[in-house]
Amino acid sequence: MIKHMLKAAEEAGKNSLTYFRTDDIQTKLKVDHQDIVTVADVESQRIIVDILTKALIEDGVPEEEIGFIGEEQLVKKGKHTFIIDPIDGTSNFATGLDYYCVSIGYAVDEVLTAGVVYHPISRTFFYAEKGKGAYKRVDGDDMKLTVTDAPLSEKFLGTYLFEDDDLVKAVMTLQSSARGMRSLGAGALDICHVADNLFGVALYLYMRLWDIAAAAVIVTEAGGVMYDWEGNELVFDFEDVNKKYYYIASHASYKEEVMKALTQVKSV
């Protein structure tokens, strides 16, 4: 399955690059100026769906068993469900900033089993299959990813800042232990950077299933953990696709410090 997902992510990424920094992206507001969509999001999602559907049918999977949950108004139930964010970091993409990615998660009977995150501009893949480890692929070379427990002071806190008192307080409390804070605008890539040890902790709120499904497999296969703001294991809801997730991705050794900071925030 992973080879199909890698191929789909790569082709979607190629498509997005044909629009990148051009006047053809046709930015539209979804909700407001901080929640936008472009023609590349919609096209890339369609490319992913077409590639995966064709590949699975060729592998003998009945079409009615192939499901999709995609950011761009896509819900189709199936035993084999792909969770798609065709462009994670659309605001960056639409503004000409290359920190964006394609994210494809794969679940069988609503259990996540594989994930691919692709950064088109650097042609870098992050991918994982449950039980088989997580990898970063650059120029065809695969490197195994292992989250280390180096001191948090040697890694960054990754987040996406916006106007939310709890988030700002939590970030500012936690970042004092880290090398610094980075807000770069693509949550799936940020989680992969936990797997790659650039970030020690990724802390987010209001994320959707398609923002995290693929990267969740990658970071856990790299030895990291994901938990919610209460410290509980993340439980993904495939029925309520609009459910919002508050999550942290990190090495398990940072969890106590993270939870202590979040407790302080909540008690203020």
Residues within the interface to another protein (CB under 8 A): 33-34, 36, 91-92, 94-97, 153-156, 160-163, 168, 172, 175-176, 178-185, 197-198
What phi-psi label fits residue 109: left (phi over 0), alpha (psi between -120 and 50 degrees) or beta?
A: left
Closest to another protein by CB, 13 vs 200, is 200
**Token representation of residue 152:** 């948090």
Strand partners, 137: 125, 142
How many C-beta atoms lie closer than 10 Å to residue 221's C-beta? 24
Q: What share of the chain is helix, strand, coil (3-state, %, to 5)?
A: 40, 30, 30
* Smaller CB separation from another protein, 145 or 181: 181
Q: How far is the CB of 147 from another protein (least distance, A)?
A: 14
Q: In the bound complex, what is the minimum distance in angstroms from residue 246's beta carbon to another protein?
A: 19
Question: With respect to another protein, which residue has the nearer C-beta, 147 or 178?
Answer: 178
Minimum CB separation from another protein for residue 210, in Å? 18
> Whole-number minimum distance, CB 9 to another protein, in Å?
22
Other beta carbons within 10 Å of 113? 18
152 contacts 260 by C-beta, under 8 angstroms: no
Task: Compare residues 34 and 263 and give the one whose CB is closer to another protein.
Answer: 34
